[in-house]
Structure 1
């Protein structure tokens, strides 16, 4: 048998990361499986784009004489289509069994299935009958009479007209990602809609300087409080927020503003409910998922896909292509990649050495699927963006497949929020370690890009705390007036600005913020549940706090906006000239150079340094061009922006070029060489 190219040629990943050399056979095995499985899967198809068309065959399709409805249900004995079109009669429209577990029925008449009509399919298996939602249904809603979820035909007479044909992702510009949830994007205590978001929130995001939105909970999920992570219908737009056309309008409008639209994709697990989800559709527990304990996520109580089955790969890959082409998404943030990549789901495992990535616990089928997924996405949209939510730090996650990687563009720097939480909780302010913070923020896998962030929706959930709420706690409810001199609020504002500014400049090639955190939203997220009497009080965003110019929330929003504008103008995120200029542990000082700029942070809670000797690499004149202490940011205005600093040899800094500069406590400043 001819050996694959992956074996006969050394993988580039080994040259990029020499520490992987002891695991060369594991990497070669990964690539052998990729090559052999790809050949078997595609068969006569030339590429993934030609293969991943399940949504164009299964489900409901209108032709000249009527409608075709098809399903894949190899374990079923009978299937019967029913709905309001036939009086919910389970006998009149039986599906015929075809080859390879497929079923089909033709419904005569183009008007037989009308736009918005309700449908279900009765599946008989093991002698029992269940009424199920079609696997490829594009919309599900609650029946106003019975209150159960039903499939809905979506075929409006006037088809949506796109205006974004020329929109492309600019990979030369860093991503400034705004993570969001449509339902809680409104100030009202209720569920926001796609239309409300398009009209009122998109302009806010544009004004704030973010060039990318990452939308949660797009795929249909019956339990609103699941945050969209328990998907029932993978091809259906969440009816909590509106119609498919209203989602298209949102994406089209975002593109007109130059905003990239990413989908928070859940292919790591699925809802275990047989009434609304895909689990057990054909009467078996193995149609899509592993059987027994391997098919159940112990923490999430959901079902785990069997990525070793070609039919499952066909379903999931078709799902990716569907969202890219039907709704013009520009890429995906893959949820739960760690759970996919290991049989132990990453639970309770400390990835302390490379052997943890290459063991019997590594799910090679899942890694192959992720490689296939990235290949397909590039075939459909060469400019698309893919981001992995992987807390394990698996080597090669963000390297091209051809080099031995998994193929993602970025991984989320999930250790950074943990760093800040641990630092705030366990250390007094004066004991924060600048060396540890520098190491954690700058230690990245070689040639693999990351998205840095201080907090995502995870840190905002009830039971946890956002950054500023962790710093200020309940004082935020009473002392956020600009003229209020509360010492806890002053500390919280100063530290939150420093933490965000340091993270955004060091922790990755992109940056992510969760909706509302840019202005220090004071509340956690608590979706309506039985435990809180189905209240929406904490499932919304109070934009009026940011709009009120008498409150410090407005200053924090201004700081966030001006920070992004400054970083864009000076191309800080994409710079590769990072140099640590000085680290002073006992005084909480950190200085570095990036993009030709000099950054100086003083985290000291009490000490200001009137003549701090700041070493720089080059001789010349320097001037402050940005600082966190500006009054428009809620600062005290202690840093001079018109003074010109002339370098000299600093004997106290090993005769490096530099100058003496005033560094007030809890401030950061940036200088540019003139």
Structure 2
């Protein structure tokens, strides 16, 4: 063990005995108020209190520029209570100082580690933590007090997913990232103009490898310094809130990288990760899996979830790779995993942790939402824990995404043979509170841009894409669209460059952009599309039997029948004139939306006149109307005047 040459560390603790008991029991959910570095005054002297959990250590010190990285200069004191917490106050260490922990383990190994609770880090590839704070004079009170309305499940939730480093870059120096503050005005104005209700940031927590898109996190309590300080990111969130836009943050409790300065093998033991590689190593991502059964790790993760909702005013968390947490055999061969105590494949520790995370989030922040990226049929992901569910607010509808993109990639001449593929989603659409995702995962690794998945010539490809979006926005569930898709980006997404914004000057692309604006407006203003978006009461098939013409007709319902909508999808490039459809009510119907409008780069086959329902039974309805169906288009009809009023 290193000898102590000198010390100016003063004994001090931010932990009460009760704090320690909660931490050891896995029930302390605000550890960011205790662990890490905190500038404070002690005995009239300004300095910084440091604390770190390292139970396998025999010696821990703080090293940095302030002591010329001398490992012996500022040793921390270990608590007497066997908690494994090392702590102490170092005078004259101020905000902005870089530091690490030097740790000597009981096995004789030595490490220099970043602070797991650091609020700020050096910009990669540098790896030191920085003494910082989360003080910010927030000016979003109106949003925070009323966000329960915007975030409610019976309100429109249309999410614009963003990778911060590649949405826009400096036009003069394309290699330079724009900062959180630099991008704020443009992003707020654009999201507002497009009509999205929320933005979702792919992980902005500090990560050493930019190519991981933020999914290999080392700094769980810090935003990436590539784009500015914590306060700069708070400013961006505040601007979004002032514009009436919610903020969802992508959160990664499923795994972490093995970088030397990070959580892995932190104190010479498997502290944060499970020791058995069959449970603690992730073969897909060459990363490490948290030990979900260890109480102190549970406190760390739950505290981290609350941290972003508390200190950064986030409105929701999208939880990444939930399936990989739930199953012990995820991406493993038969001899590479250990069954649970009942012989099953479920990770019972992860199941209980996810339940506790959701219970705690909704208790502390009832207006927030948690959203699971879960790709299996695990039951009750978005059902309350008191009913046996995991307690998430919503779940990504991965089956809908796969079936839909597979169907739309087919030449329209063959779609009549696959009608069941596009209608199947309704069979299970209400088993969860589903969000329909067309996310970053669909435009990477050789999959190409969405528009290039569509068949046909240029006009047909864009018509198909407009039809896809109209189908998505009129299908039950919340919506998520990845950046660039809203204007028909033609190249596969790359994290190393800006989106191709120049494309929006060309008619096919601004047509898509105008359509997405219109769809967001339709979704946000028509109660039938959101009031019962997670209920069987909000949807009814009118006709799904016309496979020969590849036409689908369905009804969306809200709380008031007068707001009902009838949607017709023509999945072929053939115009269908005088096509009769059953409608739920007698009266006058009007075309509310048509994806074939000229303004969207369509062919302009629209229903301009009022349509008077006749008492002619059709599609098992007592009345019907005759309409024109545009090629590769979606048409939305609404009752203008009812004969019953």
CA displacement at 1:446 relative to structure 2: 4.3
Provide Cα deviations, 1:27-66, integer angstroms capped at 9, x if missing partner.
xxxxxxxxxxxxxx999869x9973121111111233223
Q: 2:467 aligns with which of 487, 492, 498?
A: 498
Q: 2:589 aligns with which of 608, 614, 622?
A: 622
What is residue 71 of structure 1 aligned with on the other side? 52
What is residue 512 of structure 2 aligned with on the other side? 556
CA displacement at 1:445 relative to structure 2: 5.8
- Cα pair 1:93 1:105 within 8 Å, conserved: no
Q: 2:212 aligns with which of 214, 221, 226?
A: 226
**Taking structure 1 as reference, are residues 559 and 317 closer, same or farther at Cα in structure 2, changes over 3 Å only?**
same
SS at match of 1:574: coil
SS at match of 2:282: coil
Q: 2:327 aligns with which of 338, 342, 366?
A: 342
Q: 1:416 aligns with which of 363, 385, 400?
A: 400
CA displacement at 1:637 relative to structure 2: 1.4
**Taking structure 1 as reference, are residues 613 and 414 closer, same or farther at Cα in structure 2, changes over 3 Å only?**
same
**2:138 and 2:445 mapped to 1: Cα distance?**
39
Confirm or deny that 1:666 pairs with 2:627. Answer: no
Confirm or deny that 1:52 pairs with 2:9. Answer: no
Provide Cα deviations, 1:419-478, integer angstroms capped at 9, x if missing partner.
13322445654434564244333233646311013x200011141122202226xxxxxx
Q: 2:161 aligns with which of 154, 167, 179?
A: 179
**Taking structure 1 as reference, are residues 286 and 662 closer, same or farther at Cα in structure 2, changes over 3 Å only?**
same
**1:141 and 1:303 mapped to 2: Cα distance?**
23
CA displacement at 1:395 relative to structure 2: 1.3
**1:655 and 1:107 mapped to 2: Cα distance?**
76
**Taking structure 1 as reference, are residues 346 and 433 closer, same or farther at Cα in structure 2, changes over 3 Å only?**
farther
What is residue 580 of structure 1 aligned with on the other side? 541
CA displacement at 1:108 relative to structure 2: 4.0
Provide Cα deviations, 1:201-242, integer angstroms capped at 9, x if missing partner.
221011101111111121110000001111112112111221
Confirm or deny that 1:589 pairs with 2:551. Answer: yes
Confirm or deny that 1:523 pairs with 2:491. Answer: yes
What is residue 566 of structure 2 aligned with on the other side? 598
Q: How does 1:5-24 map to 2 (within 5 A)?
A: none
Q: 1:631 aligns with which of 598, 618, 630?
A: 598
Query: Which is further off, 552-561 or 278-287?
Result: 278-287
What is residue 282 of structure 1 aligned with on the other side? 267
Provide Cα deviations, 1:146-165, integer angstroms capped at 9, x if missing partner.
x5311111249xx4210113
SS at match of 1:647: coil
- Cα pair 1:649 1:658 within 8 Å, conserved: yes
Count how many residue pairs are aligned between Structure 1 and Structure 2: 588
What is residue 203 of structure 2 aligned with on the other side? 217
What is residue 286 of structure 2 aligned with on the other side? 301
**Taking structure 1 as reference, are residues 116 and 337 closer, same or farther at Cα in structure 2, changes over 3 Å only?**
same
- Cα pair 1:462 1:526 within 8 Å, conserved: no
- Cα pair 2:581 2:626 within 8 Å, conserved: yes
Confirm or deny that 1:258 pairs with 2:244. Answer: yes
Provide Cα deviations, 1:321-346, integer angstroms capped at 9, x if missing partner.
21111111112000000000001226
Provide Cα deviations, 1:385-405, integer angstroms capped at 9, x if missing partner.
100000112111111111211
Confirm or deny that 1:565 pairs with 2:546. Answer: no
**Taking structure 1 as reference, are residues 196 and 468 closer, same or farther at Cα in structure 2, changes over 3 Å only?**
same
SS at match of 1:90: coil
SS at match of 2:148: coil
**Taking structure 1 as reference, are residues 45 and 57 closer, same or farther at Cα in structure 2, changes over 3 Å only?**
closer
CA displacement at 1:246 relative to structure 2: 0.4
Query: Which is further off, 620-629 or 227-236?
Result: 620-629
**1:649 and 1:142 mapped to 2: Cα distance?**
69
What is residue 87 of structure 1 aligned with on the other side? 68
Q: How does 1:90-109 map to 2 (within 5 A)?
A: 90-98=71-79, 99-109=81-91
**Taking structure 1 as reference, are residues 438 and 543 closer, same or farther at Cα in structure 2, changes over 3 Å only?**
same
What is residue 13 of structure 2 aligned with on the other side? none
**1:551 and 1:252 mapped to 2: Cα distance?**
34
What is residue 297 of structure 2 aligned with on the other side? 312
What is residue 372 of structure 2 aligned with on the other side? 388
**2:222 and 2:200 mapped to 1: Cα distance?**
18
**2:583 and 2:621 mapped to 1: Cα distance?**
11
**1:233 and 1:559 mapped to 2: Cα distance?**
39
Q: How does 1:129-528 map to 2 (within 5 A)?
A: 129-142=110-123, 148-155=126-133, 159-166=135-142, 167=144, 168-170=147-149, 171=152, 172-187=154-169, 188=171, 189-190=174-175, 191-273=177-259, 275-345=260-330, 360-425=344-409, 429-433=413-417, 435-444=419-428, 446=430, 448-453=432-437, 455-471=438-454, 488-506=457-475, 508-527=476-495
Q: 1:649 aligns with which of 616, 620, 634?
A: 616
**Taking structure 1 as reference, are residues 42 and 70 closer, same or farther at Cα in structure 2, changes over 3 Å only?**
closer
**2:114 and 2:407 mapped to 1: Cα distance?**
48
**Taking structure 1 as reference, are residues 348 and 629 closer, same or farther at Cα in structure 2, changes over 3 Å only?**
farther
- Cα pair 1:137 1:152 within 8 Å, conserved: yes
**Taking structure 1 as reference, are residues 347 and 616 closer, same or farther at Cα in structure 2, changes over 3 Å only?**
farther
**Taking structure 1 as reference, are residues 359 and 436 closer, same or farther at Cα in structure 2, changes over 3 Å only?**
farther
**Taking structure 1 as reference, are residues 169 and 434 closer, same or farther at Cα in structure 2, changes over 3 Å only?**
farther
CA displacement at 1:312 relative to structure 2: 0.7
- Cα pair 1:622 1:646 within 8 Å, conserved: yes
- Cα pair 1:49 1:380 within 8 Å, conserved: no
SS at match of 2:517: helix
Confirm or deny that 1:541 pairs with 2:499. Answer: yes
- Cα pair 1:176 1:512 within 8 Å, conserved: yes
- Cα pair 2:473 2:519 within 8 Å, conserved: no
TM-score normalised by L of structure 1 = 0.83
TM-score normalised by L of structure 2 = 0.86
**2:22 and 2:491 mapped to 1: Cα distance?**
52
CA displacement at 1:247 relative to structure 2: 0.5
- Cα pair 1:49 1:376 within 8 Å, conserved: no
Gaps of 5+ in 1: 1-40, 350-355, 473-486, 528-535
**1:186 and 1:317 mapped to 2: Cα distance?**
33
Gaps of 5+ in 2: 1-17, 335-339, 558-563
Query: Which is further off, 664-673 or 283-292?
Result: 283-292
SS at match of 2:62: strand
**2:27 and 2:317 mapped to 1: Cα distance?**
20
